[in-house]
Amino acid sequence: MIDNESRTIPISDGLALKQIDGPRLAARSWRLSDPFRIGRSASNELELPDPGISRRHASVERVADEWVVRDCGSRQGTELNGLALEESGTARIRAGDILSVGPWQFRIDVCAGDTPLPGSADAATRISVVRAGGNLAEQRLELLLQYAGDIAAAGDEDTLAEILAEHALLGSGYARATVLWRRGDEIVVRCQRPAPSPTGRWRFNAALVASADRGELARLESDMAEGDGSVLAPRKSRRAMCVPIMLDGRAEAFLYLDSERIGTRRHADAPTFCHALARLAALALSNLHRLEHEREHAAFTADLERARDVQKRLLPPATGTIGTVRYALHLHPGRVVGGDVVDVFEIDGGRVVAALGDVSGAGLGAGLVMASVQSFLRAGFAHDGDPVRVVSQLNAHLCAQTGDGRFVTLWLGVFEHGGSRCHFVDAGHGHALRLAGGSVQPLSPRGCIPLGIDARAQFVAEALQLGRDEMVMLYSDGVVEQRGAEGSAWGTEGLSQAVASAATPVDAIALAWKALGEHASGVAPEDDATVLALAVN
C-alpha cells in the first residue's frame, strides 16, 4: 500500500536510527557514522544481543553522496521497508525508511539541528518525501483483511490451503510454505507454495511438527545439517516455523514455513502474523466442516424420506380379506427408518401368505434390506409354494448380499385354501400371540436361527390350527420395547392385556394401538412398531 502522508524535512547529511520495535536496548536513537556497524559483537556501533543475530550482521555506509545499508552475509538477513536484501547486498536508505534486523525495527530519521547544504544558508531548502509501502503494522493489517475475505469465500479445503500458503508467503518473509493436513493417524501434504519441481522433494523437521501438534507455534532457530534420510528429516533449512490450526482442542492442520537459503530474511513479526492466519484458517475450516455436515445431513434425510416412501408403497392395505383370511395391520415408523417387514398376499391355489419380520439396525441400510426381503418373498412364492424352501433361498440370498452383519428375523405363514390350517416358519422372530375367547397365549414354536447368519442353516415348518373366533397376532420388537414416560418398556404383558377382548383383527389393532399410545405418553418410538392380526373365515 502507499502511505500518502508527506513529511517535509531539511536536506542534511546527518541521519540517525531510532528504535520503533523490538527488545529494549540501552539507547533508543543512534546517529549514523561511516561506517555504522550492526551486530551481536560488542565492537559494533549498535550491539544487538540476540543469538540469532550475526556477530557482524549489517552496516550503514556512505557511498559517494548517499547512505546505503549493507547485509554482511548474516544468517537471518536484513530487511529494508519489508523487503529482504540479497545476501551481502546493499540498498540506498533515506529518511523515513524502516530497517529490520532480527526482532528489532528502526526508522531512519534526520538528525535535529544539522547544517544545511551549501547554498541554502539564506533560506532553508526543504523536500517532500513520500514513503512507499507504509509501516509494517499497516501492511500486515491490509494483508490480513484481504486474507480474511479470501478464506471466508473458500468453498473447499484445497482452496483454503492454497489461500493460506500464498498469504503466509506474502507476509512472513519465509521462502516456502506448506500446508499439512491430518488424515487419521497420518499427516499429509495438502498444498505447497511455490509448487515443488517434478524432481524436488521437500523435507520437514519431524520434531518441529510434533511440537506444534501439542497446540503451540514452534520455531527452528538454529542451523540444521542434512537429516538421516527420513521423510520428515531436516534438509538444508536454516529457519523453519510450524503453526498448528486448532479445531476443538486438536491440531487438524499445520502451516509449515521454511527457508533453504541461509540469507533469506523473515519478518520479525512472522510468528504473530502466521498465528493470526492459522486462527482465521481454523474458523474457515470449522465453517467448511459445518457446511459439509449440513450437506451430508440433508442428503441422509432425503435418503430416509425416499426409504420411507418405498416402505409405505410396499405395505398392503391396512385392512382386507384375501381368500379366507381377514387381516388388519398398522406400522408406525420410528424416528429413523427401520426394517420392519410386513406383507399379506395370495399365491397359487387360493393360499394366503402372511409375513412379519424385522431387519437388524435402522436407517437407510435396514430399509433397503427390508424392501429386498419383501420383494424376494413375493418372487419366491410365485415359483414355489413351500415356505421352507422359500425361506432357505432367502437366507442364502441374504448371507451372500448383506456383508455388513445385518440379519433378519421373520415369521412366515402359509394359510391353506378353504381351511383354518397354517404352516409357518419362525426364523428367530418369536413375537406371535394366539387370541382365543378372551385369552391370549404366546405361540411357542421350536423356531430357527435368524436369516442372513449361516447360509447352511436348516429351517422347518410348524403347523398351526385356528378355530372359530381365534386370531394370530404378529408384532415387531418395537411394539413391546416402546418405553413410557417413566422409562419402562411396554412388554408382551401390556400388549396381551390390551388385545384380550378383541373380536376381530380390526379390533385387535385398534385396541393395541390405543393402549400403546397411552403407555408411551407422547414418547416417540425409536424403532418401527408393527402389528399384524389375522383370522380365518
Distance between CA atoms of residues 282 and 273, nearest Å: 14
Same domain, 341 and 392: yes
Q: Where a domain ends, among 110, 128, 163?
A: 110
Say which residue the cell 544558508 belongs to.
121
DSSP state of 138: H
Has residue 2 been placed in a domain? no
pLDDT score at 60 = 94
Residues 348 and 466 both lie in one domain = yes
Residues 6 or more apart in contact with residue 212 via CB below 8 angstroms: 218, 242, 243, 244, 251, 254
Same domain? 376 vs 521:
yes
Which CATH number is 87's domain given?
2.60.200.20
Asked whether residue 131 is domain-assigned, the answer is no
Q: How open is the CA angle 404-358-314, to the nearest 5 degrees? A: 100
CATH number assigned to the domain comprising residue 199: 3.30.450.40
Q: Following DSSP, what letter does each residue of 461-529 receive, concatenated?
A: -EEEE--TTEEEEEE-HHHHT-B-TTS-B-HHHHHHHHHTT--SHHHHHHHHHHHHHHHHTTPPPSS-E
Q: For residue 455, what pLDDT is reported?
A: 93
Q: Which amino acid is at 485?
A: A
Enter the C-alpha cell of residue 336: 429413523
Residues 117-145: what's their mean pLDDT? 47
- The CATH code of the domain that includes 432 is 3.60.40.10
pLDDT score of 227 more than 50: no
**Inside any domain, residue 67:** yes
Identify whether residues 64 and 177 lie together within a single domain. Answer: no
Residue 378's H or E segment, with its range, is helix 364-383
Residue 451 DSSP code: B
Query: pLDDT digits over 306-365, tens only?
Result: 777 777 788 899 999 999 999 999 998 876 666 799 999 999 989 999 999 999 877 777
Whether residue 54 sits in one domain with residue 197: no
Of the chain, the percentage scoring pLDDT greater than 90 comes to: 48
Q: What is the pLDDT of residue 9?
A: 28
Whether 116 is covered by a domain: the verdict is no
Classified as helix, coil or strand, 107 is strand
- Is 91 found in the same domain as 173? no
Question: How many domains would you assign to the chain?
Answer: 3
Q: What is the pLDDT of residues 254-267, one digit of tens each?
A: 999 988 654 445 56
Q: Which three cell numbers stand for residue 110?
A: 534526520
Using CA atoms, how far apart are residues 30 and 37, in angstroms rounded to an integer? Answer: 11
- Inside any domain, residue 358: yes
pTM, two decimal places: 0.53
pLDDT exceeds cutoff 90 at 441: yes
CA–CA dist 304, 367 (Å, integer): 8
Q: Looking at residue 120, what is its pLDDT?
A: 33
Amino acid identity, position 447: G
Residues 341 and 404 in one domain: yes
In a domain, 10, yes or no: no
Three cell numbers at 500? 384380550
Residue 260: per-residue pLDDT: 66
Asked if residue 360 and residue 219 are part of one domain, the reply reads no
Q: Give the pLDDT confidence of 282-308 residue by residue, as tens digits.
A: 999 999 988 888 888 888 778 777 777
Q: Which range of residues forms the domain containing residue 71? A: 15-110
Local structure of 110: helix, strand or coil: strand
205 and 354, same domain (yes or no): no
Q: Are 318 and 250 part of one and the same domain?
A: no
Burial class (CB in 10 A: 0-12, 13-18, 19+), 33: exposed
Q: Are residue 414 and residue 528 in the same domain, yes or no?
A: yes
For residues 215 and 512, what is the distance between their CA atoms, to the nearest angstrom? Answer: 58
Q: Is residue 299 part of a domain?
A: no
Give 338's contacts (C-beta < 8 A, 6+ positions apart): 358, 359, 362, 366, 367, 370, 478, 527, 528
Residue 195 counted as domain residue: yes
**Nearest-CA neighbor of 349 among 393, 288, 414, 424?**
414
Name residue 23's amino acid.
Answer: P
Residue 191 — pLDDT band, cuts 50, 70, 90?
very high
Same domain, 73 and 207: no
Mean pLDDT of the chain: 83
* Alpha helices in 123-238, H assignment, sequence order: 136-152, 157-172, 206-212
